[in-house]
Amino acid sequence: MIAIDGIDLEIDRGEVFALLGPNGAGKTTTIEILEGNRRRDAGEISVLGADPAQAGREWRARIGVVPQTQTEAGELTVREMVAHFSAYFPDPRDPDEVIEAVGLGEQARTRLRRLSGGQRRRVDVAVGIVGQPELLFLDEPTTGFDPQARRRFWELIAGLADDGTTILLTTHYLDEAAALAGRVAVIAGGRVVAVGTPADLGSTDAAAMVCWQSTKGPRSVRTAAPTDCVMKLAREAGGEVPGLTVTRPSLEDRYLELIGTTTSARRDGAQR
């Protein structure tokens, strides 16, 4: 079974790049290959100037990894866990500073087995960033976070990006991708089906929906030129257009369209 098929991506230094896609699309497989934790069958990869499959310890000290699976509960405290991993890096951040940054300051002396699932996930993030990585891999990092913790995490990632850290993120939260990423790639069926900024993907040539209230009842039209349509309606109405709404395609709309189209195409191909 082919997990990913001909993915071609180029991510710039200092960029926050998000991979979007349904479960089983190939996001985690892609991340693991780029981290050097899974071997590829074919193709060429360069990450920080090296092939991850051949890179050594010095290269690994330049990357940070937050995997999809949570840290196992254990007898170490939060601070002991983060401090332990900080010792693997040549120039780590202060463990206490990192613990505060992920919102676990009050749990610093709490043993991992006593943390909630969301709190253990924050420990994963702390371990991933304590080494001040040049490149940070985040695989579904905010799973289990409450809304306040997610917002705090977004601020942390924005700060890392401002400092020049390159970040590759996978997420199921489209608002997270829109808030953090400069560009996103949509993966479906092991292939990249679209790449662009969140705004570009949400504002494609797909038509906007213009709705209004006419003398004959509710009316609507889908158009690629909504401004012209609204101006025409205003002239016809002699001013304000009753019940006027204009709905433009969002990143979520485009995402659902892309993965739906790909799924349908693969199903049709399998039936032939």
pLDDT in tens, 150-186: 888 888 888 888 888 999 999 888 888 888 999 999 8
Q: Is 21 left (phi over 0), alpha (psi -120 to 50) or beta?
A: left
| pLDDT > 70? residue 71 | no
What fold characterizes domain 16-201? Rossmann fold (3.40.50)
Nearest to residue 124, comparing CAs of 80, 168, 65, 74? 65
Binning pLDDT at 50, 70 and 90, where does residue 264 land?
Answer: very low
pLDDT in tens, 30-41: 889 999 988 888
* CB-CB contact of 126 with 98 (8 Å): yes
**CA–CA dist 166, 13 (Å, integer):** 6
Would you give the end-to-end CA distance of the chain in angstroms? 19
**CA–CA dist 100, 210 (Å, integer):** 47
pLDDT at position 241, please?
94
Once rounded to an integer, what is the mean pLDDT over residues 207-216? Answer: 88
Q: Is 222 left (phi over 0), alpha (psi -120 to 50) or beta?
A: beta
Q: Which two tokens stand for residue 207?
A: 């038509």
Nearest to residue 240, comparing CAs of 226, 230, 248? 230
CA gyration radius, the chain? 23
pLDDT in tens, 185-197: 988 878 888 888 8
Q: Which two tokens stand for residue 49?
A: 């100037």
What amino acid occupies position 25? A
* CB-CB contact of 61 with 68 (8 Å): no
H runs (alpha helix) in the chain: 27-35, 57-60, 78-86, 95-101, 117-129, 147-162, 174-180, 198-202, 226-237, 251-271
Domain boundaries, the chain: 16-201, 203-271
pLDDT at position 201, please?
76
DSSP state of 69: S
